[in-house]
Amino acid sequence: MHKQWPMAMASTFLFPCLFFFLCSTLFPSTLHSIKDGFVVPLIHRDSPQSPFYNHSMTTYDRLLGAAHRSVSRQNHLSSRRRTASNSNAHEITTRLVHDNLEYIMTFYIGTPPSKLTVFVDTGSDFIWAKCQICEKCHLSPIFEPLRSFSYTNFSCGTESCRHLDEFPGRKTCIKDMELCTYALQYLDDSKSAGYLAKEKFSYKQIRGVLEDLGYMEFGCSNTYSDHFRGLQDGCAGLNRGHFSFITQLGIRKFSHCFVLPEYEARGSSMLFGSVAKIYGDVTPYLEEKEDLYYVNLEGISIGDQRVPIPAGTFNLTFWDEGGFAVDTGTTYTNLRSEGFEPFLNMMRQVVHLQQRRGPPPFELCYEAKPQDFYNVPFVTFHLTGVDLKLEKQNTFVELRLGFWCLAIIRSTDSLSILGSFQQRGLMVGYDLDRKIVSFGSADCSTV
């Protein structure tokens, strides 16, 4: 019966091009590109190449903005964790804070393909994209499902739709025959809602050719509040949950390399599949928690001195307290107070530069010249199996000329996060078969 389908279609539409689309819809081709792996450029939201770049902002505004986003991101991850462990399902929704992510990658969706600029999020599983589900409104280039030959809806009773329920409140349809709908409720009361759909994704190769990635389920968002009017087309989740980009594509390893600011114009990269680079020292991540990549932070040193932080401070408890996660969506590393306080005190004693109060959330700043940091000891994070020695430029941030701040901040609760600022100039790899995160030094501008 399947065999007759395309033939019947072909005689109805005597249009070879359309026939091709229908065929590829009904019989997805083998995904050779995925077996070989693929590379996607990453753009930092504050780089001049970014669609979010705001010319009227100063460097100070941008760096402080990133710090505020780090706090809001940390709040979001903690609050979602509390929500997930709360058993009162009716009270809770999937809570997020809009617009607090840092790195952008570009994909194409649909047939014919539309460009999609999405934030990368290693702390989430969901892919969602702005969709325009109406015939008359023309706010292109937003993806219009009605114009795509490869778009499909789901009904509420399907297996796929039921998976939405893994996060209480995310599935919004009730009757089996209804269309499957989802909603994401954000911390600031903004919303993103729409249909669960399936669509063909592709990416642009270095040569400029579009390469198929195959079909993925995603949230086709047709309701979003004012907050989303901007250039954000959506999000691509990279954790190990059901709907995640890597889970759906069957990708078992990926790595990213964030360039140092002086190479920003060359761009960072994200490597998926066999091209991913896993090297350097490795540390296991906590397999049981698929929402984040938790690693074991045993302690911190400044120079040769170990900061007096009680053992187990950063451990994740049975009750989901504590924990130290590697994240791409948070800029500045933040540490829970029990670890941050002793670290800050030792920093104050060890660094002999003119101390200044920082604009919150920065707590320790200096009036200094770049060469003054030459004699400042290095900060090392001791993960199980990895001594992550931070470059000076990954430890301090120059907010404005001659005014530097410690780029590690205080967490607002028990969750601590290794941010992207501290991962610059490193190839950070995730190997799902070995269940490890790797850290190798790299010149990310030549990856």
Ligand X SMILES: *[C@@H]1O[C@H](CO)[C@@H](O)[C@H](O)[C@H]1NC(C)=O
Name the residues that contact ligand X, by CB under 6 A: 54, 56-57, 61, 145-146, 151, 153, 179, 296, 311-312, 315
Side chain identity at residue 375, one-letter code? N
Residues contacting 352, CB < 8 A, separation 6+? none
Peptide bond into 168 cis (omega under 30): no
What residue is closest to ligand X based on CB?
Answer: 312
Question: Which residue lies nearer to ligand X by CB, 272 or 340?
Answer: 340
Inter-axis angle of helices 4-12 and 16-26, nearest 10:
150
**Positive or negative torsion for Cα 68, 74, 77, 81:** negative
Question: Which residue lies nearer to ligand X by CB, 250 or 312?
Answer: 312
Question: Which residue lies nearer to ligand X by CB, 58 or 86?
Answer: 58
Residue 74 Cα distances to 96, 189, 374, 416, angstroms: 11, 17, 31, 8
Least Å from the CB of residue 242 to ligand X: 22
Question: Which residue lies nearer to ligand X by CB, 56 or 375?
Answer: 56
The candidate with the shortest Cα–Cα distance to 249, out of 26, 429, 31, 28, is 31
Least Å from the CB of residue 197 to ligand X: 8
Side chain identity at residue 376, one-letter code? V
DSSP code string of 289-316: --SSEEE-EEEEEETTEEP---TTTTPB
Question: Which residue lies nearer to ligand X by CB, 138 or 207?
Answer: 138
Q: What are phi and psi of 398, to 5 degrees?
A: -90, 100
Question: Which residue lies nearer to ligand X by CB, 201 or 254?
Answer: 201
Least Å from the CB of residue 164 to ligand X: 17
